[in-house]
């Protein structure tokens, strides 16, 4: 859920940067929207798995299968967060006013924290 809210904040910040004339690449927009959809899928799969647990015979097996799919989606999200850090850094370097490296390292650290919270 934290990841979903964070990605919405990133989308708002990207639109604000675009209106200010700063560089926002297509890869960054693609990654953010893809991660938003994948995080929503992960949330839905987890809630579906919990709701299927109460079925008598197949509930546990269905829950295990759906949680395996959700785990794979979380792995893709973790890789996407690393790529998002890289594309945000490259976008900052392309703009006329580059952001300090410490800001990018803090953002990368926050992405790593999000990865730990997902697993």
**Residue 7 in domain:** no
Specify if 21 maps to a domain. Answer: no
pLDDT of residue 63: 84
11: confidence class by pLDDT, cuts 50, 70, 90: very high
Residue 8 belongs to a domain: no
Count of domains observed in the chain = 1
Alpha carbons 56 and 63: distance in angstroms, whole number: 12
Q: Which own/partner contact pairs does 15-22 have at CB distance under 8 Å and 24+ positions apart?
A: 22/91, 22/95, 22/97
State what percent of residues in the chain have pLDDT above 90. 28
Answer whether residue 80 shows pLDDT above 80. Answer: yes
- 36 pLDDT higher than 90: yes
Distance CA 55, CA 74 (A): 25
Phi and psi of 22, rounded to 5°?
Answer: -80, 160
* Residue 53, in any domain of the structure: yes
Please compute the mean of the pLDDT values over residues 15-29 and round it to a whole number: 86
Give the total residue count for the chain: 119
Range of the domain at 39: 27-118
DSSP-derived 3-state class of residue 25 = coil
What pTM was computed for the model? Answer: 0.84
- What is the reported pLDDT for 25? 86
Decide if 110 is inside a domain: yes
Average pLDDT rounded to a whole number, residues 17-44? 89
């Amino acid at each position: 859920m934290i990841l979903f809210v964070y990605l919405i904040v990133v989308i708002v910040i990207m639109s604000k940067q675009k209106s200010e004339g700063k560089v926002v690449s297509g890869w960054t927009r693609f990654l953010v929207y893809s991660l938003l959809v994948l995080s929503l899928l992960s949330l839905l799969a987890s809630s579906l798995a919990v709701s299927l647990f109460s079925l008598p015979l197949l509930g546990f097996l269905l829950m295990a299968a759906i949680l395996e799919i959700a785990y794979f989606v979380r792995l893709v999200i973790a890789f996407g967060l690393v790529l998002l850090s890289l594309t945000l850094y490259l976008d900052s370097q392309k703009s006329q006013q580059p952001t300090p490296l410490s800001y990018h390292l803090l953002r990368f650290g926050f992405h790593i924290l999000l990865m730990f919270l997902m697993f």
